[in-house]
Structure 1
Amino acid sequence: MVPQNPILLIMAPMPDSFRLGDLILPQDGAGPVAFNRAKFPGIEAIEAVLAGLSFTLTYHRAEEARQFSSEGKWDPIFYSPPKQPLPAIGITLSDHIISAKHDSTVNKTLLQLARIIGEALEAKSVVWQPAKLHIGFEYFTEATSQYSDGGPFPVLVQIAISESAEGIFQTSGLSYFSGQEMRLSAPSDYPPNQVIKRLVRIAHDIASNGKIDTPIEAEGFVPGEMLSLTPSSDLAFVDIAIAASSPRQLH
């Protein structure tokens, strides 16, 4: 079955006459990506295989792609969406790897495929649906390339962070990897950038190692700081409280 709601979309200027079967990548046929153009006959979809993993590519014309990038629905990251929507190529994990979507190899390969296709099409942005993020392609390439080369998990590309009126910071999209989102509260005198720094570090750990299923008390990131991690009864959330003794130094 061809997916109707891809997890990642590459927004790029493509002519009205474009067809997915026309997609050509550098060294097509001899490069790292292999296409099976016959898997979905009569449907605007093809199979792409990279590093032994298969993905489904779908084509979405500009009006159809509008729903994926409409203003107010998605958080723009290093990108100002154009007034007129661009068409998009969507990527979805195939059935045989969907259960391993949290695996770093699967995730890195997905992001690598997006970079390869995006570079070939001179893409402007990428939409990451699990976190409702609309990311400038240049930043997407930089952050995910570092990740592929052994760098940190690209939290700001794949996990959204918002702050509620009560001063609680919450993630969206972390559940794609772990089945769990985070809610984090900190002392009122903590600068927001320091709260987010800690949230990013913890989100990286959960995305890489799995959900928190038992209450945990742990040392924080500076002397005198303690973290209390309490999962909800259904494990859908983990509430994290930061407590600190004074004085302290925040880095």
Structure 2
Amino acid sequence: MRALAQDDTRFSISLDTSEDDGEESGWLELLANGMTFDLVGLAPQPAIEVPETVHSFGIGPDRDITQYQALTITPGPHLAAGGAMFPVVRTLATIAAYLSELDGVEAIAWHPARALSDADYFRRSVLRWIEGGAFPGLGLAALVPTSDGGLQSEGLSLFTGQELRLSPDVANDRAEGSKIALRLLNWLVEHGRITESYGFTGPSGETLRLEPVENLGIVEVWRGSH
């Protein structure tokens, strides 16, 4: 960690508690974009168990994640009230992408989406987003089939306060529905919470209608403009 921070201009170690008493504490404070984040779980602290995950991206079936140990990054105390603010969450994802370059880092767990991504997959998708590319809808969010044949996002609400739900008529072709959902996830992250209906052109030129359902914190997607 110290070597990476010393060679990297993207973040720094703003507080190294081992300097206080000459003993390793297992905790560092990291600084990026003027914000601080706590990294815990380093030796000699007891190993942190990998959190429960439901979705996996870039993780092969032969990977035994039960053998992993986890480090946890959280916004610092001064960010507690704004931990879900977009700049904080974006910087948190970016730091995780930077740290995935360390030897021995196998995967990144993104708790709000209950997603576990291969370290290289996570790094590439997040850094592309930071550099102006599409939002990593499979990694910082996930897509879940609904009981009626639709498709719903998991994890988007951290960025916009709303989840996305595609009606069955939009998601009946699962591959096409996923393509539509990923495009909409990117658009919603760019535009933020919506409070009124929008017309949207899908990837195949189809007309879609986005309708916020405020009491559920969901944006419904239907075919047609009415």
**Structure 1 residues 172-206: Cα deviation after superposition (integer angstroms, max 9, x where no partner):** 10011111111102537952111111111111121
Q: 1:219 to 1:79 in 2, by over 3 A?
A: closer
- Determine if the alignment matches structure 1 residue 154 to structure 2 residue 152: no
1:118 to 100, 108, 117: 100
Contact (CA 8 Å) 2:170, 2:223: kept in 1 or not? no
* C-alpha distance after superposition, 1:127-182 (max 9, x if no partner): 00000001011111111121122211111110110112311100110011111111
Measure how far apart 1:215 and its partner are. Answer: 2.5
Unaligned runs of 5+ residues in structure 2 are: none
Per-residue Cα deviation, 1:15-64 (whole angstroms, up to 9, x for no partner): xxxxxxxx43336287443220139x796422100232211111177864
Counterparts of residues 25-36 of structure 1 (less than 5 Å): 25-26=3-4, 28=6, 31-35=9-13, 36=15
1:9 maps to which residue?
none
Query: Would you say 1:144 and 2:126 are equivalent positions?
Result: yes
Gapped runs of 5+ residues in structure 1?
1-22, 245-251
Q: Which residue of 1 is the match for residue 17 of structure 2? A: 38
Structure 1 CA distance for aligned equivalents of residues 78 and 138 of structure 2: 27
What is the CA–CA distance in structure 1 between the aligned matches of 2:145 and 2:91, rounded to whole Å?
A: 31
Identity over aligned pairs, percent: 22
Quote the RMSD (CA, aligned, Å).
3.0
2 CA distance for matches of 1:88 and 1:156?
21
Moved more, 52-61 or 151-160: 52-61
CA distance change for structure 1 residues 160 and 62 in 2, over 3 Å: closer, same or farther?
farther
Q: Are residues 1:24 and 2:6 paired?
A: no
Kept after mapping to 1: 8 A contact 2:98/2:123: no
- One-letter amino acid of the structure 2 residue matched with residue 124 of structure 1: E
User: Contact (CA 8 Å) 1:230, 1:239: kept in 2 or not?
Assistant: yes
Q: Contact 1:56–1:92 (CA<8 Å) still a contact in 2?
A: yes
Contact 2:167 2:222 in 1 (8 A): yes
- Give the secondary structure class of the aligned counterpart of 1:119: coil
Are the equivalent residues in 2 in contact too, given 1:227–1:240 (CA < 8 A)? yes
**Cα distance 1:188–1:92, how it changes in 2: closer, same or farther (>3 A)?**
closer
Instruction: Give the 5 Å matches for 1:65-214.
Output: 65-66=49-50, 68-69=51-52, 73-80=53-60, 81-82=63-64, 84-97=66-79, 99=82, 101-103=84-86, 105-187=87-169, 190-214=172-196
3-state secondary structure, aligned to 1:171? strand
Match of 1:247 in 2: none
**Residues 1:231 and 2:219 are matched in the alignment:** no
Instruction: Decide which structure has greater helix share.
Output: 2
Question: Which amino acid in structure 2 is aligned with residue 65 of structure 1?
Answer: E
Q: Distance between the aligned counterparts of 1:140 and 1:218, measured in 2?
A: 28
Distance, in Å, in 2 between the alignment partners of 1:212 and 1:241 is: 15
Secondary structure of 1:114's counterpart equals: helix
Q: Deviations over 1:91-119 (max 9, x none)?
A: 1122444526443x544432332233221
Separation (CA, whole Å) in 2 of partners of 1:175 and 1:25: 35
Aligned to 1:234, the other structure's residue is in SS state: helix
Residues matched between the structures, number = 216
Counterpart Cα distance in 2 of 1:47 and 1:133: 25
The residue type equivalent to 2:34 in the other structure is: G
